[in-house]
Amino acid sequence: MRRLLLFYCFILSATIAVGHDIHGKVMDSSGNPIADVNVYNSTSEKHSHTNELGQFILRNAHPGDKLMVSYLGYKTVHYVIEPKDVEKGLEFILEEDVFELDQVQVTNSFKTVNRIASIDLQTNPVTSSQEVLRKVPGLFIGQHAGGGKAEQIFLRGFDIDHGTDVTLRVDGMPVNMVSHAHGQGYADLHFLIPETIEKIDFGKGPYYADQGNFNTAGYVEFKTRDRLDKSMVGVEAGSFNSQRIVGLFDLLNKSESRNSAYIAAEYLLTDGPFDSPQNFNRLNIMGKYTVDFQNSNRLTFLASRFQSKWDASGQIPQRLVDNGTIGRFGAVDDTEGGGTSRTNISMTHSKTINDNAFIKTQAYFSHYDFELFSNFTFFLEDPINGDQIRQYEDRRIYGVHSTLFQNLTIGEKDVSLSAGIGLRYDDVNDVELARTANRKTTLERLALGQVDESNLFGFINADIDLGNWLINPGLRIDYFNFDYIDQLAPNYTSLSEDKSFLSPKFNIIYTPDNQWNLFLKSGMGFHSNDTRVVVAQEGNRILPAAYGLDIGANWKPVPRLFINAAVWYLFLEQEFVYVGDAGIVEPSGKTERKGFDLGFRYQLNDYLFFDWDFNYTDAEATEERDDENYIPLAPELTTAGGLSYKNPNGLSAGIRMRYLKDRPANESNSIVADGYFITDANVSYTFGSVEVGLSIENLFDSEWNETQFATESRLLTEAIPVEEIHFTPGTPINIRGSLKYRF
């Protein structure tokens, strides 16, 4: 008997000594899988994270190991692994809770810094479509066409215009438009309803194998909610005859936990602060249906419709304001404006292959149209009718992509592998640039054509776990086919070029413990180019390379303080630009940008949060003389942050500040774009199902210019043109009240 007992104890101890791969899943109280949950084995000091199906794997785990399962906005679960878990697996249901920065851990993952966006989204919810992009640290935006045009974007020393050098996606669908009538990469994000946003993912630099076209300065991806906790209706009203109505409606019974469906809608109108009302209106409708099957497979169907119309006062010359001819909110040509619409249809299927692998496939279609009337030079080209132009296009986008996610063990090393392939095809009809008068009369067609652009791509990416070290090699290949038919040329001249580009990536991260890590990111990408640039250059240097390097750290010196920092460098071989406003190609030489980013997130107590980001960039054209090597409108110094208060009793408040330093408006810095410092504030109170709120933009009523350009123009009364700052004024103090009801 004694020998039998000893033998049993030996077998039990041997079983415990041998580690196991334990599989698990994390869901919320409604049965919805939660992605990116941190699963930390405090006994072995190893980490794991859930994928988008809520699944995770604990390598070399033992019964008796202590786990901590944590995710922002949910109660942390502490659990001791039991022998039965080895066979049955683990399942955790997380309950919602107040935000705790203690839950954010520095892990052996390149996603650590991305959690900044999750922190900011929890403490400062998005309140408008413009605020959406400001959730990315160091990213600034400006609007210069009555609210309906895509925002001008600034990031890491780039005047990205409307999206040339940053990739934007929503639920896997591309936002950037290739070879757009107004300019390459045009990214109108206004079809995204702020209240539907669940997650923001971002990265800076060309270091990501799954990101391709436009990913020079970085990428931003938005994910909308798969299900609603509650339905909601809301109304807002404020200065400048502004009104907004929003509604999110759950369509299925809560008991049907594996199915979810909802519709979201938004209607917005405003006149803006301008002397000539902008008559802006926008309508958004989105529907989403998700099915979670018992075998962990998932199917999501999304459809949306967006349309918008507006009038605009455009950019006005500083000299007219200085001499008192017009006020800051006046206009030279108040017949500017436009209209746009977009219809999206998307279907995404995630299929579990086995406990270690799943494949995600998406197919999407977008129908988009755009019409814009602008006048930047007034009477410079046509002293009789004026220089108003019309830009127009009608586009269809077809796309499909599929990615395999696989967990492997090679020797004793864990490897997370992802490999994908995809195709995007843009069919753009009647891309037009014309001279017009008063938005009615077409005087002359300057350009008219058809664009067909295809992008076939594939990538492979691996996270190799070497204990405290994580190595991330990646490789991407892009193939482009560019076709342009010039409908103004004799016989409808057709031009075609194609090009392939190989983008290697290599990233390393060192994490000695859960308080700090060091990382190095390196990679090669390319500067995106318009089809009309490609054919004009006859296929020469049409995808100039971009080389990037980041060295940085994430640090939690105390549980409620998170610090991130990075120094970086980016070199571009060439920056071709197709100027849609003039129908010409403007090539530039080599450029380099270098700088550093610094960010702080601090929770002062259970309810008070502080965040601040500081970003510095030195940008120059390397082949120009020292007095002519400035990159126009490249931001040198930006900083943004604030305080927010969030109490479970229903009271929330916040104050936000942002600063943009003066920057060169031309290559010689002889014309300077003025910087600004703006403060916004908000307060809201929730009692029961009702929430009332008040927000104030530009709290101190500062006089500032939202967008500025060094432009040569001539007024009707002038004999010679003048080059100087032309600007769109920033909004004065703007007070908005809101009322929301959840049910």
Indicate which CATH number applies to the domain containing 80: 2.60.40.1120
Residue 569 pairs in a beta bridge with 549, 594
Q: Is residue 103 part of a domain?
A: no
Decide: residue 299, CB within 10 A, 0-12 exposed, 13-18 middle, 19+ buried.
Answer: middle
- Same domain (yes/no): 92, 131: no
Among 458, 457, 498, which Cα is nearest to 481's?
498
pLDDT, tens digit, for every residue of 563-575? Answer: 999 999 999 998 7
Give 376's DSSP letter.
Answer: S
Give 388's DSSP letter.
Answer: -
Q: How far is CA 207 from CA 348, 356, 474, 524, 530, in A?
A: 25, 26, 9, 7, 22
Angle at the Cα of 347 from the Cα atoms of 342 and 349, rounded to 5 degrees: 155
Q: Is residue 467 part of a domain?
A: yes
- Same domain (yes/no): 90, 224: no
With cut-offs at 50, 70 and 90, classify the pLDDT of residue 254.
Answer: low
Q: Give percent of the chain with pLDDT exceeding 90.
A: 63
Which alpha helices (H) appear in 280-434, and where do they start and end? 318-322
pLDDT confidence of residue 292: 87
pLDDT, tens digit, for every residue of 408-463? Answer: 888 778 899 999 999 999 999 889 999 999 998 899 999 999 999 999 999 999 99
Show which of 42, 65, 97 is a domain's final residue: 97
- Same domain (yes/no): 119, 90: no
Residues 194 and 173: beta-carbon distance below 8 Å:
no
Tell me the C-alpha distance between 164 and 217, whole Å. 9
Mean local confidence (pLDDT), 72-78: 85
Name, in order, each residue with C-beta under 8 angstroms of 682's C-beta and a sequence gap of 6 or more: 127, 652, 653, 654, 693, 694, 695, 696
Tell me the C-alpha distance between 78 and 698, whole Å. 45
Name, in order, each residue with C-beta under 8 angstroms of 140's C-beta and a sequence gap of 6 or more: 134, 153, 154, 155, 635, 638, 640, 658, 660
What are the phi and psi torsion angles at 87 (to 5°)? Answer: -90, -45
What is the DSSP code string of 47-112?
EEE--TTSEEEEEEE-TT-EEEEE-TTB--EEEE--HHHHHH-EEEEEPB----GGG----SSTTT
**Can you say how many angstroms the Cα of residue 106 is from the centroid of all Cα atoms in its chain?**
23
- Same domain (yes/no): 336, 469: yes
- Same domain (yes/no): 120, 90: no
- Same domain (yes/no): 87, 145: no
Tell me the C-alpha distance between 711 and 374, whole Å. 14
Q: Is residue 104 part of a domain?
A: no
pLDDT, tens digit, for every residue of 305-321? Answer: 999 999 998 899 999 99
Show which of 34, 68, 97 is a domain's final residue: 97
State the residue range of the domain holding 91. Answer: 2-97
Show which of 70, 97, 124 is a domain's final residue: 97
- Same domain (yes/no): 171, 74: no
pLDDT confidence of residue 13: 43
With cut-offs at 50, 70 and 90, classify the pLDDT of residue 732.
Answer: very high
Per-residue pLDDT at 583 exceeds 60: no
pLDDT, tens digit, for every residue of 368-388? Answer: 999 999 999 999 999 999 999
Per the prediction, the chain carries an average pLDDT of: 89
- Same domain (yes/no): 73, 147: no
CATH of the domain at 344: 2.40.170.20
- Same domain (yes/no): 68, 177: no
Residue 497, both tokens: 């070029």
- Same domain (yes/no): 142, 84: no
Per-residue pLDDT at 30 exceeds 90: no
Q: Is residue 109 part of a domain?
A: no
What are the phi and psi torsion angles at 319 (to 5°)? Answer: -65, -30
Per-residue pLDDT at 589 exceeds 60: yes
pLDDT, tens digit, for every residue of 107-132? Answer: 877 777 767 777 777 777 776 766 78
- Same domain (yes/no): 648, 556: yes
What is the DSSP code string of 118-151?
HHHHHHS---SHHHHHTTSTT-EEE--STTTSPP
Q: Give percent of the chain with pLDDT exceeding 70.
A: 94
Q: Specify the number of domains making up the chain.
A: 2
- Same domain (yes/no): 119, 87: no
Q: Report pTM.
A: 0.91
Q: Is residue 592 part of a domain?
A: yes
Q: In sequence order, what E strands does 356-412 have?
A: 357-374, 389-410
